[in-house]
Amino acid sequence: MKITTKLFATVFVFLIVLLLEACDCQKTNTSQSSATDTLNLIKGSQYTVIDQSPMDISYCPDEFPENKLAGTSIQESPIARVIYSRPHKKGRLIFGSNEKSLCKYGNSWRLGANEATEISFFQPVNIEGKNVGAGRYTMYCIPFEDKWVIVLNSNIDSWGLQIDTSKDLMRFEVPVQKQSPAIEDFTIVFNAATYGSDMLMAWDDVKILLPISYSK
């Protein structure tokens, strides 16, 4: 009886060890997957490759498409719409003066990936005291440690960042704010404000708010 009990205890301990090792292995695999591009783990399409920086659209006001579909929208068109592709951090150094920084201070950045980021205003608005007419614009920025310079440019329908500064229309300086925790995917959204909306642009541990004034 003593031998049987001892054997049972030994087997029980052995099974516990195996279970703990399996859990550690699962955690390691999960960590490795999150550190790499998890889109590579998804089965692709026979017609095209999976875009590593998927395109996204943000509306101002942000609930406009849902309200229009539900028939509760009080306006025929949105105030603004941004179309951009969302790059991932993937463990990289994003903002800084280091040579390895993805978005170096003082250098132009397309505010996204792939095709140039585009913003459409469906009615005139005012940004930092400047009147911006309705229309389509390419939007890019020049990041610095304490501020971003947001630029509206008329060179639309372009891939990447084909900057023609002769087509720059307006520039706005917006202070940088730190955020925690850092976010993995670059994001642009509109937040309601008393004067209209703030266009929030955020990535890693940095965010900015571009104030957009309009008649509600």
Q: Which pLDDT belongs to residue 25?
A: 40
In the numeric block, the tokens 């993995």 are attached to 184
Whole-structure pTM over 0.85, yes or no? no
- Which distant-in-sequence residues (6+ apart) come within 8 Å of 132 by Cβ? 121, 124, 125, 126, 152, 170
Give the per-residue pLDDT at 37. Answer: 52
Rounded mean pLDDT of 78-106?
Answer: 95
Cis, peptide link before residue 181, omega less than 30° from 0: yes
DSSP 175: E
8-52 pLDDT, tens digit per residue, is 445 454 555 445 454 444 443 433 334 445 555 556 677 776 777
Amino acid symbol at 54: P
Residue 62: strand, helix, or coil: coil
Q: What is the mean pLDDT of residues 117-123?
A: 97
Better pLDDT: 111 or 23: 111
pLDDT grade for 72, boundaries at 50, 70 and 90: confident
Give phi and psi for 49, each to the nearest 5. Answer: -85, 160
Q: Quick one: pLDDT at residue 69?
A: 82
Query: What confidence tier does 141 reach under pLDDT thresholds 50, 70, 90?
Result: very high
Predicted local confidence at residue 159, as pLDDT: 77
